[in-house]
Amino acid sequence: MKDEWPLWEVFIRGQHGMSHRHVGSLHAPDAETAIRNARDVYTRRNEGVSIWVVQAAHIAASSPGEKGPLFEPSNSKVYRHPTFFDIPEDAGAM
């Protein structure tokens, strides 16, 4: 408890060119060990081709209290979606 290894968050990129995705966490003394341990735990079944690790303490996160101010403004902006616009069939594929 006194000297616990820091917590790291693990991100993996799968086979098909997608973005790295958060898969879980682990404790490790340093980045090198974190990557090695992430390999051992999170890519046991060909889940990935690339690993990112970042110390959990270095992640800044929005707080649940900010949910309204942060995300509500986009609720009213339906024109940001392509389906907002009616394009006549005669115009062809778009």
Partner 1 sequence: MYAQMIRTASTGVKPREEMTPEERRFQDRIDAGEKIEPKDWMPDDYRATLIRQIGQHAHSEVVGQLPEGNWITRAPTLERKAILLAKVQDEAGHGLYLYSAAETLGVSRDELIELLHEGRMKYSSIFNYPTLNWADIGAVGWLVDGAAIVNQVALQRTSYGPYSRAMIRICKEESFHARQGYSIMMAMAFGTPEQKRMAQDAVDRLWYPALMMFGPPDKDSVHTAQSMAWKIKVATNDELRQKFVNQTIPQMEYLGLKCPDPDLKWNEEKQGYDFTEPDWDEFFDVIKGNGPCNVDRMNDRVKAWEKGAWVRDALLAHARKKAAPAAAE
Q: Show the site string, 38-67: x = touches partner 1 by CB under 8 A, - = not.
A: --xx--xx---------------x-xx---
The pairs formed by 56-62 with CB atoms below 8 angstroms and a separation of 24 or more are 56/6, 56/7, 56/8, 56/9, 56/25, 57/6, 57/7, 59/9
Calpha distance 8→10 (Å, rounded): 6
Told to check if 81 binds partner 1 by CB under 8 A, we report no
Which of the stretches 19-27, 71-79, 84-92 binds partner 1 when contact is defined by CB under 8 A?
Answer: 19-27
Rounded CA separation 45/54 (Å)? 22
Cβ-based nearer residue to partner 1, 62 or 87 = 62
For partner 1, the binding residues (CB under 8 A) are 1, 3-5, 7, 23-27, 29-30, 33, 40-41, 44-45, 61, 63-64
